[in-house]
């Protein structure tokens, strides 16, 4: 017999309908069914005067059950359930706590009243899944808080706290305990018949008279959301709230929801939602394995990266010590951390006083003995193997037993670093992306001997820092940079063969990346790659020529582009064009016009091919982990789901054929389709099929 997911209890005239569907009380079919049945019984029971809608477990409902999207709809739909609460002849009160999201909030807005605990947060995050709120959210929220605030909340998908919700009119009271608070609230409403949210028009009046303020708020909300369909649909639907009557607005919302939910963008965004969570699951790791508690952390190296990592600890509430070799470098590092916090406070990203609060957790020392206090040490020194080995050997001598010893290397061999210690099980890579305090991706690199305990701890620390951790294997460049190297090679080739930086960047931008590869190179500094190439004895003719001329990118005002008087806006430079043409001629390459489609293919397919090799070698556990790496670390547009998801959409046979063509044209065997890619294509399968197998193995 299936578990009961909705309970009904009646006590002293109050019916409590409680959803009990762990972990997040999603509103799947059984819950919707149970809600209608419980409400019908409560409404028919003459002893019931008031109905409280509650949830058991850790949170009020997080919304519709996302796993049901893309499957045939089953009655009753969520909108029908909400309509039943809305039309109920007895007052209905939603008792909110935890996170009330999406359909959960829409259901709460279908009730006549809402109370919430002080720590409760609520929001309509459907836009993050490529959707708009599809169960009345775009029609009821504007009626409660006004269309301007509603459009901002719905397009951003951000949550608001109980206090702000009360001030805005989204809830009616802040209470100490949800159910008791709702019962107490019930006694205050007396016998006055409740006003349904749909009938509350007062907050729409201003926008009806003059929509200018709404249009400004809407334009502001969508300003940076290039290429995505959902935000525009959110705006249109909130606008309907004051230009149409409620029923028409609801019908239009529903039609837009159905269009979006069946589209590729929402599919991609839902894929990333689940991929991010799946990435935390490590096959073979005992489910009860507890991460070690990190009471004190240390970071070796107070450079930009080390400082950013220290900030992550402080942001997570973990005291952290920055360790440097000299006082001057240490002070510079600490000053940089303080300044970064100050900038965030000035921009309003952090509240006033945050700098002092966070800096209270950050200390500095030149005394290595202090490393003995740390439960986790992250080394962020220069990228030099000998230096890292020396640091880890020294660290081994002072660090406490069981401490996690991590390196922030972006390329070096974790096993070689671990071998400098007598405790390789405790050593792993924690590869943060620059700027380390901002970028969400954290590649956790496991070495040959790294223990599950160390990995579990690194994942937990990453999550506490607000990062998206992905566990990867040990190889040159790990997952992200290894794939990026393929794109970088193609970039150089495209320039030599006939393209210009601005053409390539425009194609990549149009695809949805926030920046093209050449503008990105200029931002990061072209000298970094130049130095690595020299060290490895390899060349990239055009990039080398630029560097030889001191064109290192933004920091020298010139790189692939020109940056006039400190500007960060790349301007195409005729000098660069001349240099490129000259280099092609010098190397005997006849330049040709290269179409945008070819550029796009070469900017994506060789990377997808490398992803297949990474999977063949077991460097990534599953294709969706690679998607998470690219979405959170390299700006792959979330609405395109990541390289593996995108490859499945394009179709692997097409990608294999194009790679064959490009491998033939360039003579680069690295571009030749990987065996796995070929095999999947021949079997009519996609990356998603291996994802399913990996999921079964993890379970
Ligand atoms: N449907 C189905 N499963 C869900 C879910 C949902 N709405 N929300 C979370 N889950 C699952 C997760 O996949 C995860 O499953 P797993 O353990 O098998 O990996 C489990 O619940 C726990 O989730 P988290 O690991 O994310 O737990 P946290 O405590 O870190 O976060 C949360 C909780 C803030 C609620 C977060 O899960 C979240 O943001 N959920 C999505 C909320 C959302 O987007 N709601 C809108 C849904 S769309 C909708 O309602 C449409 C409507 O307008 C018609």
pLDDT for the residue 697? 66
Dihedral pair phi/psi, residue 108, rounded to 5°: -65, -35
Question: What is the reported pLDDT for 557?
Answer: 94
pLDDT at 1 over 60: no
Q: How many other CB atoms sit within 10 Å of the CB of residue 593?
A: 9
Asked if 13 and 93 touch (Cβ cutoff 8 Å), the reply is: no
Q: What is the DSSP letter of 90?
A: S
Q: What pLDDT is recorded for position 484?
A: 96
Kindly indicate whether the domain formed by 6-262 is annotated with CATH number 3.90.226.10.
yes
Q: What is the pLDDT of residues 92-114, one digit of tens each?
A: 999 999 999 999 999 999 999 99
Residue 528 confidence (pLDDT)? 83
At 238, give phi and psi (nearest 5°). -65, -35
Report whether pLDDT(32) > 60: yes
Distance from Cα 574 to the centre of ligand 1, integer Å? 51
**Which residue's CA is minimally distant from atom 30 of ligand 1?**
277
In this predicted structure, what is the pLDDT of residue 65?
Answer: 97
Average pLDDT over residues 303-315: 96
Residue 42 has pLDDT above 60, yes or no: yes
Closest Cα to atom 46 of ligand 1:
102
- What's the pLDDT score for residue 317? 97
What Cα–Cα distance (Å) separates residue 662 from each residue in 63, 506, 669, 679, 687?
A: 46, 21, 10, 19, 21
d(CA 345, CA 357): 12
Task: Give tens-digit pLDDT for 644-693.
Answer: 999 999 999 999 999 999 999 999 999 999 999 999 999 999 999 987 77
For the chain, domain boundaries: 6-262, 297-472, 499-591
- For ligand 1, the distance from its centroid to the CA atom of residue 472, given in whole angstroms, is 25
Residues noted as catalytic:
106, 126
Instruction: Please check whether residue 3 is in contact with residue 42, taking contact to mean a CB–CB distance below 8 angstroms.
Output: no
CA distance linking residue 407 with residue 412, whole number of Å? 9
How far is the first Cα of the chain from the last one, in angstroms, to the nearest whole number? 23
Task: Please report, rounded to a whole number, the percentage of residues in the chain having pLDDT higher than 70.
Answer: 99
Q: Which residues contact 341 (CB under 8 A, 6 or more apart)?
A: 311, 350, 354, 355, 358, 359
Looking at the chain, the whole-number percentage of residues with pLDDT higher than 90 is 91
pLDDT digits (tens, 9 = 90+) for 488-522: 999 999 999 999 999 999 999 999 999 999 999 99
Name residues contacting ligand 1 (CB within 6 A).
Answer: 23-24, 26, 62-67, 78, 99, 101-103, 106, 125-126, 129, 133-135, 137, 274, 277
Round to whole Å and give the CA distance between 521 and 532: 14
| Tens-digit pLDDT profile for residues 540-570 | 999 999 999 999 999 999 999 999 887 889 9
SS3 566: helix
Q: CATH topology for 297-472?
A: Rossmann fold (3.40.50)
At residue 145, the 3 state secondary structure works out as helix
Q: What does the pLDDT read at residue 378?
A: 98
Mean pLDDT of the chain: 95
d(CA 158, ligand 1 centre) in Å? 15
What's the confidence (pLDDT) of residue 532?
83
Per-residue HEC secondary structure of 190-233 comes to CCCCCCCHHHCCHHHHHHHHCCHHHHHHHHHHHCCCCCCCHHHH
Give the pLDDT score at 130.
Answer: 97
Site to probe by mutation for ligand 1, drawn from 5, 21, 22, 23 as the one with most ligand atoms within 8 Å of Cβ, is 23
Pick the CATH number of 499-591 from 3.40.640.10, 1.10.10.10, 1.10.1040.50, 3.90.1570.30: 1.10.1040.50
pLDDT digits (tens, 9 = 90+) for 381-432: 988 999 999 999 999 999 999 999 999 999 899 999 999 999 999 999 999 9
Going from the Cα of 62 to the center of ligand 1, the distance in angstroms, rounded, reads 6
Q: What is the mean pLDDT of residues 334-346?
A: 96
* pLDDT the model gives residue 226: 78
**Model ipTM value:** 0.98
pLDDT of the residue at 227: 81
Rounded Cα distance, 301 and 79, in Å? 55
Q: What are the distances in angstroms from CA 610 to CA 217, 413, 448?
A: 43, 19, 22
Instruction: Provide the residue count of the chain.
Output: 699
């Amino acid at each position: 017999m299936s578990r009961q997911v909705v309970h009904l209890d009646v006590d002293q005239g109050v019916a409590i309908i409680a959803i009990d569907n762990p972990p997040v009380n999603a509103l799947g079919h059984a819950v919707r069914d149970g809600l209608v049945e419980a409400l019908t019984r409560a409404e028919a029971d003459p002893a019931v005067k008031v109905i409280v809608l509650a949830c058991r477990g850790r949170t009020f409902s997080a919304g519709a059950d996302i796993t049901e999207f893309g499957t045939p709809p089953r009655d009753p739909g969520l909108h029908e359930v909400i309509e039943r609460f809305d039309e109920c002849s007895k007052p209905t009160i939603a008792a909110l706590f935890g996170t009330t999201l999406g359909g959960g909030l829409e259901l709460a807005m279908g009730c006549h009243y809402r109370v919430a605990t002080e720590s409760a947060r609520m929001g309509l995050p459907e836009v993050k899944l490529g959707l708009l709120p599809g169960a009345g959210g775009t029609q009821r929220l504007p009626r409660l808080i006004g269309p301007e605030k509603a459009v901002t909340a719905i397009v951003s998908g951000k949550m608001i706290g109980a206090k702000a919700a009360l001030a805005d009119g989204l809830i009616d009271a802040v209470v100490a305990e949800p159910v008791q608070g709702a019962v107490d609230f019930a006694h205050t409403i007396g016998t006055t018949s409740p006003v349904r949210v749909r009938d509350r028009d007062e907050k729409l009046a201003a926008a009806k008279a003059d929509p200018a303020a709404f249009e400004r708020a809407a334009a502001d909300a969508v300003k940076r959301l290039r290429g995505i369909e959902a935000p525009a649909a959110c705006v249109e639907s909130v606008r309907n709230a004051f230009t149409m009557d409620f029923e028409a607005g609801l019908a239009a919302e529903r039609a837009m929801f159905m269009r979006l939910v069946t589209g590729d963008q929402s599919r991609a965004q839902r894929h990333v939602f689940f991929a991010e969570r799946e990435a935390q699951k490590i096959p073979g790791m005992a489910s009860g394995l507890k991460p070690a508690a990190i009471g004190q952390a240390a970071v070796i190296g107070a450079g930009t990266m080390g400082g950013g990592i220290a900030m992550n600890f402080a942001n997570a509430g973990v005291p952290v010590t920055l360790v440097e070799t000299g006082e001057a470098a240490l002070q510079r590092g600490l000053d940089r951390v303080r300044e970064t916090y100050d900038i965030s406070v000035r921009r309003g990203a952090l509240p006033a006083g945050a700098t002092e609060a966070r800096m209270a957790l950050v200390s500095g020392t030149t005394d290595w003995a202090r490393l003995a206090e740390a439960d986790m040490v992250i080394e962020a020194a220069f990228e030099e193997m000998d230096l890292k080995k020396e640091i880890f050997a020294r660290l081994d001598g002072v660090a406490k037993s069981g401490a996690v010893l991590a390196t922030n290397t972006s390329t070096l061999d974790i096993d070689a670093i671990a071998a400098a210690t007598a405790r390789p099980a405790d050593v792993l890579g924690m590869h943060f992306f620059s700027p380390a305090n901002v970028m969400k991706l954290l590649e956790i690199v496991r070495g040959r001997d790294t223990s599950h305990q160390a990995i579990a701890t690194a994942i937990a620390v990453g999550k506490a820092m607000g990062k998206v951790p992905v566990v990867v294997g040990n190889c040159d460049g790990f997952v992200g940079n290894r794939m990026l190297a393929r794109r970088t090679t193609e970039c150089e080739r495209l320039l030599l063969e006939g393209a210009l930086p601005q053409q390539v960047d425009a194609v990549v931008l149009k695809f949805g990346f926030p920046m093209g590869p050449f503008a990105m190179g200029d931002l990061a500094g072209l000298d970094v790659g130049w130095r690595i190439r020299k060290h490895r004895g390899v060349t990239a003719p055009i990039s080398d020529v630029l560097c030889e001329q001191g064109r290192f990118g933004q920091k020298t005002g010139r790189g692939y582009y020109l940056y006039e008087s400190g500007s960060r806006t790349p301007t195409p430079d005729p000098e660069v064009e001349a240099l490129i043409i000259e280099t092609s001629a010098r190397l005997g390459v006849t330049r040709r016009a290269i179409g945008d489609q070819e550029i796009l293919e070469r900017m994506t397919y060789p990377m997808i091919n490398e992803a297949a090799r990474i999977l063949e070698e077991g460097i990534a556990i599953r294709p969706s982990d690679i998607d998470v790496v690219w979405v959170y670390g390299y700006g792959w547009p979330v609405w395109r789901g990541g390289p593996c998801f995108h490859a499945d959409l394009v179709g692997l046979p097409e990608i294999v054929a194009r790679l064959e063509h490009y491998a033939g044209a360039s003579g680069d065997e690295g571009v030749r389709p990987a065996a796995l890619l070929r095999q999947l294509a021949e079997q009519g399968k996609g990356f998603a099929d291996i994802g399913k197998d990996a999921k079964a193995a993890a379970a």
